[in-house]
Amino acid sequence: MDMKQLTKITLAWELYEEGVPQTHIAKRLGMHRDTVRIWIKNIQLYGLVQFIEHYEHAKKGARKRRKVTDGLKNLIYDIREQERDCCGQKIRYFLKKDHGITLGTTTIYTVLGERYQLRSKWKKNQQRGSVPQATKPREVVQMDTVDFGELFAFTAVDIFTKEVDVLLRTSLTSTDGYVFLKTAMNRRFNGYVNLIQADGGPEFKDRFKQYVLRYCTRYRVARPYKKNEQAYIESFNRSLRKECLGWSTYKTNQLSELTKEVELYLAWYHYRRPHLSLDLKPPVPDF
């Protein structure tokens, strides 16, 4: 143990008792102010002598790094594959929930990097356009479509609860848009919301616009080339591709088969899949 460090701890406490501000103590001792703050806080809790004894004991020898065994690595890989290529935070959630194992997210990503090509971190400081805000369920629902060749996925998300609905159709007309509107609102969103927002595609015009105000107080068309205004539904569309239907194109004769696949995915999404913005809880809690 470095006796000089123990001397600094004692001196920091003496100066604090004399009324010297902690920032000045840190500067005088050449220490970071957070370190001095932690020292003083613990001395106040345990007393100077007991804190120094604890400090000496804690500093004996190098800390042993937790060994990630091959079995634990394989468990991490299995969870990622079973839970549809989920991210490190969600793997951490499943490790704790299903196996009682606590492991840091950084360690999980290190393990994943040994087998998978991981994407770089999202740039947090990029500018983003304004999006409708929601403070409660059924306040804002965003709608969109995803092109799968001869099939089209109509998608919707409640931006507060993150509940979603998906309907596969063989065409992209306003009649298809109306069928989806009626189906999704009655099946998932309790029949009525405050605001529905969609883009300016043909599927959200004519017949869709004729009936949309039966299901909402206000209808808003997102501005062209402002995809961030549809950020929530665009995010779900990526999840739908990544976790369910992929980036393939499909034929109309596959409609029935893929509809069953989507129904299974929606059940998993709502009741099993942890959502980062919901503190790693699924959109529909299992009471």
Return d(Cα 225, Cα 234) in angstroms, integer: 13
| 168, 153 contact by CB (below 8 A) | yes
Instruction: Identify the pLDDT of residue 60.
Output: 61
Query: What amino acid is encoded at 27 in this protein?
Result: K
Dist. CA 164–CA 144, nearest whole Å: 11
pLDDT at position 129: 46
Kindly report each contact of residues 25-31 with a partner whose C-beta sits within 8 Å and lies 24 or more positions away, as own/partner.
none
CATH class of 3-58: mainly alpha
Nearest 5°: the CA angle 124, 126, 132 is 95
- Cα-trace Rg, the chain: 27
Q: Which tokens go with 179? A: 């069928």
* Nearest-angstrom CA–CA distance, 46 and 9: 14
Whose tokens are 């893929």? That residue is 258
179, 215 Cβ separation under 8 angstroms: no
pLDDT at 61: 59
Residues of the chain below pLDDT 70 = 1-3, 59-66, 119-131, 286-287
Q: How far is CA 262 from CA 54, 221, 232, 266, in A?
A: 57, 27, 19, 6
Domain 140-278 has CATH 3.30.420.10: yes
Distance of alpha carbon 251 from alpha carbon 46, whole angstroms: 71
Question: Position of tokens 């007309």?
Answer: 173
Q: Residue 52: what pLDDT? A: 85
CA distance 165 to 190: 12
pLDDT of residue 132: 76
- The gap from C-alpha 168 to its chain's centroid, in whole angstroms, comes to 26
CA–CA separation, 29 and 111 (whole Å) = 40
pLDDT in tens, 141-171: 999 999 999 999 999 999 999 999 999 999 9
How crowded is residue 81: how many other Cβ atoms within 10 Å of its Cβ? 10
pLDDT of 142 reads 97
Domain regions of the chain by residue span: 3-58, 70-113, 140-278
Indicate the pTM of the whole model. Answer: 0.69
**According to the model, what pLDDT value does residue 131 have?**
66
Query: Closest by alpha carbon to 112, among 92, 129, 133?
Result: 92
